[in-house]
């Protein structure tokens, strides 16, 4: 008696399919949605030829920032690993066969192709010998499996999917900071604040970007070292500062004592100090005076040490307006003169023998050195 095979079974006889025991499986309009654990996928991309065998659009990219983070997540927080992103597979055919127990179906996937998600699969494969099987089972991963015309469509659209995604930034994630949320909910009188748009304040709707707010708070930070001011001086530094909400530098700026009045005082002080530096004659910016040009945040930070910074966010009788508008411009120029003098004394060689003020003046090591010498 001859066995009669279905079309899918004929494929299986010729080419054994990749099989899964999914936690959940659903047939969708354009394919299948399957929940499996990382343990079910641990060998799929383990071989060197996996990218070619799975027809992936690119091979394993190695220890990129994203892959390192995925690996760390799988090791430290496996439940989070599958909650971010998904894996898109293509297949010539898919068959679900009922198992002996309820919800114990076996999924057979024939002609497997990895349309998107090889990096995630390779991270799982690389960690399978280091992590116990029970650990990998805690990571539940969503697979999408496309067949027929939808397979070709998925392949085509995934190649350009990055063009349709607004990449998340560290600034976007500030909305998850409890201290930022408290500041958003505070009373700004005739204004408001959010970490994407910054501050709108005053009767004329003055706007200050989040970059401005960060630079201002860094300028008046009561930290005795100018680390925050140094980070806030560049866009890349600000992204780095915003990205680590557990760091001491971040908490020195965005803490539970923040208030609208404190933020506005910080912005006013920072703008006033910067304005004073902008008026310094060009002839004073020559030689070691390039410090004014290439390290203005250091000078503003130094000038603001004269303010009662511990009371910045509190209601107080201190004459803030007079101190900022009247005294701070003079103190800024004094700070500039003092720091430039120290710079010249400590590093007379800068600007000679190929050294560049533009390269040397913004270095944090120099800022620390100058601050220690002008205390």
pLDDT value at position 6?
Answer: 44
pLDDT value at position 83?
Answer: 87
pLDDT value at position 13?
Answer: 37
- pLDDT bin (cut points 50, 70, 90) of residue 100 is low
Kindly state the average pLDDT of the residues 74-89. Answer: 92
Kindly state the average pLDDT of the residues 98-112. Answer: 76
pLDDT value at position 101?
Answer: 57
Short-list 140, 6, 170, 164, CA closest to 74: 140
Higher per-residue confidence, 315 vs 302: 302
pLDDT value at position 10?
Answer: 40
pLDDT value at position 375?
Answer: 61
**18/53 Cα distance (integer angstroms):** 13
Q: CA 252 → CA 208, 214, 219, 223, distances in Å? A: 20, 11, 11, 7
In the numeric block, which tokens belong to residue 191?
Answer: 């204004």
Give CA 68 to chain center in angstroms.
14
Percent of the chain with pLDDT over 70: 92
* Helix ranges, 77-194 (H): 78-81, 118-127, 133-137, 148-158, 178-185
Q: Parse the chain into domains and list their residue ranges.
A: 7-164, 172-373
Kindly state the average pLDDT of the residues 153-161. Answer: 89
User: SS3 sequence, 169-188?
Assistant: CCCHHHHHCHHHHHHHHCCC
- pLDDT bin (cut points 50, 70, 90) of residue 189 is confident
**Torsions phi, psi of 85, nearest 5?**
75, -175
Kindly state the average pLDDT of the residues 35-41. Answer: 94
**109/31 Cα distance (integer angstroms):** 12
Residues 6+ apart with CB under 8 A from 248: none
Going through the chain in order, the beta strands assigned E by DSSP cover 18-20, 24-28, 31-37, 87-91, 93-97, 106-110, 113-116, 140-147, 192-194, 198-201, 206-208
Kindly state the average pLDDT of the residues 292-313. Answer: 95
The whole-chain average pLDDT of the chain stands at 89
Contact 107, 25 (CB under 8 A): yes
**175/192 Cα distance (integer angstroms):** 14
Higher per-residue confidence, 21 vs 334: 334
**130/187 Cα distance (integer angstroms):** 52
Residues 6+ apart with CB under 8 A from 156: none
**pLDDT for 205-261, tens place per residue?**
778 999 999 999 999 998 899 999 999 999 999 999 999 999 999 999 999 999 999
Residue 202 has pLDDT above 80, yes or no: no
Strands lying side by side in the sheet with 206-208? 192-194, 198-201, 206-208
């Amino acid at each position: 008696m001859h066995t009669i095979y279905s079309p899918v079974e004929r494929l299986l006889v010729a080419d054994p399919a990749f099989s899964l025991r999914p936690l959940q499986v659903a047939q969708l309009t354009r394919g299948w949605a399957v929940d499996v654990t990382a343990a079910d996928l641990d060998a799929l991309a383990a071989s060197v030829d996996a990218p070619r065998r799975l027809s992936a659009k690119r091979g394993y990219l190695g220890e990129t920032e994203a892959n390192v983070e995925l690996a760390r997540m799988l090791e430290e927080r496996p439940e989070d690993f599958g909650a971010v992103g998904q894996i898109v597979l293509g297949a010539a055919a898919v068959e679900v066969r009922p198992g002996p127990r309820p919800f114990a179906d076996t999924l057979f996937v024939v002609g497997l192709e990895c349309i998107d998600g090889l990096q995630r699969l390779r991270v799982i494969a690389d960690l399978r010998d280091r992590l116990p099987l029970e650990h990998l089972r805690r990571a539940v991963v969503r697979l999408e499996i496309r067949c027929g015309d939808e397979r070709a469509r998925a392949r085509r659209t995934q190649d350009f999917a990055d063009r349709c995604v607004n990449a998340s930034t560290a600034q976007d994630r500030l909305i998850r900071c409890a201290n930022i949320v408290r500041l958003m909910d505070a009373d700004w009188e005739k204004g408001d604040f959010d970490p994407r748009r910054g501050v709108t304040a005053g009767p004329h709707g003055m706007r200050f970007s989040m970059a401005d707010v960060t630079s201002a708070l860094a300028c008046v930070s009561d930290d005795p070292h100018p680390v925050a001011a140094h980070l806030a001086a560049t866009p890349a530094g600000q992204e780095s500062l915003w990205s680590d909400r557990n760091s001491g530098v971040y908490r020195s700026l965005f803490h539970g004592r923040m208030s609208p009045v404190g933020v506005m005082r910080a912005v006013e002080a920072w703008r006033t100090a910067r304005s004073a530096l902008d008026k310094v004659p060009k002839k004073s910016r020559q030689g070691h005076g390039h410090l004014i040009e290439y390290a203005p945040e250091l000078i503003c930070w130094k000038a603001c040490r004269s303010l009662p910074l511990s009371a910045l966010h509190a209601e107080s009788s201190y004459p803030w307006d007079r101190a900022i508008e009247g005294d701070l411009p003079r103190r800024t120029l004094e700070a500039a003169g003092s720091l430039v003098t120290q710079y010249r004394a400590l590093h007379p060689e800068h600007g000679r023998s190929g050294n560049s003020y533009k390269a040397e003046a913004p270095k944090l090591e120099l800022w620390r050195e100058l601050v220690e010498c002008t205390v």
